Amino acid sequence: MRKARSYPLLTILALVFFFGCQVSFFVSVNGESSTLFVRVTDARPALPDGIEGVFITFEEFFVHRRGGDWISLELVNSPYAIDLLALHSGKTSQLVKPAKLEDGKYDRIRASVSSVAVLSEGVFYSVALPPETLIIEREFFFKLEEGQTLDLTIDFDLSQSLSISGPSPNHSYELEPVLHINPTKEVASIQGEIAARNFEEHKSVEATVTIFLDRDFSGGLSGADEEYTRIIVDRENPEFEIFWLAPEEGYIIQIDMDGSEPPEFEQFVFPADLQKGDTYQLNHGYPI
């Protein structure tokens, strides 16, 4: 179990200053090489009550050329500390400096993280990293061609990545990164609004919206399906949008108002209804 740690004031100020939360790659071609920009984001995550910030420090960032070597990209600041909760709802922050890359095929990304801290109810908690440094490596294929412009987005999904155990104030936090990677111009989103009467009826101040990837295209939740992400919708701000979705996939959206089963609302979004760059309106655009 990890107990609260105190951090020097300058360290905390630095963490607050360098914030971000979605990762977006922008590639523009210049002659025989391409230029790669990397940004970082998150999508309004559903987290345990009391969490005010999730601070992560990146030490290195790499891309891998197929059949070749890992290529190190220089961070905007070294190390680079960001609050993953500071940016959401489509906001981004630059992570690495522009880097010249050869045209060709790339198949993996890798980031090393030296520290993670959670700010909860005014107290900082450290997150254990095995073994002291966390290496995040994911397969993702992209191809750079002469004259091409490519922009990719990686959503660092804290709803899926961060878990908590133990009673307050001796919480223990664990981080197992879940990333969603898609071409930025192709990503889709889903919008909705929860009617005030539903909050009143269920005597709730917030609702949980969970989105599942419908792996078997059955139109209903099954054992083959998997949770994609979840967000919290506040009664005072009933409109919501789920960003960074892969287009042309089937999704099941459930809304839970009071924590009981079954959920108060469920809708299936067909792949044909969520094309590249689309924004889909739940319940035909009417409040749920």
In the predicted structure, residue 236 carries a pLDDT above the cut 60: yes
Of residues 256 and 164, which shows the higher confidence score? 256
Residue 57 confidence (pLDDT): 93
List of domains in the chain? 9-185 (no CATH), 188-285 (2.60.40.2190)
pLDDT digits (tens, 9 = 90+) for 263-283: 999 999 999 999 999 999 999
pLDDT digits (tens, 9 = 90+) for 175-202: 888 888 888 888 899 999 999 999 999 9
Phi-psi region of 209 (alpha: psi -120 to 50; beta: other; left: phi over 0): beta
For 15, residues 6+ apart whose C-beta sits below 8 A from its C-beta are 7, 53, 55, 81, 82, 83, 117
Q: How many helices (H) and strands (E) does the chain have?
A: 3, 20
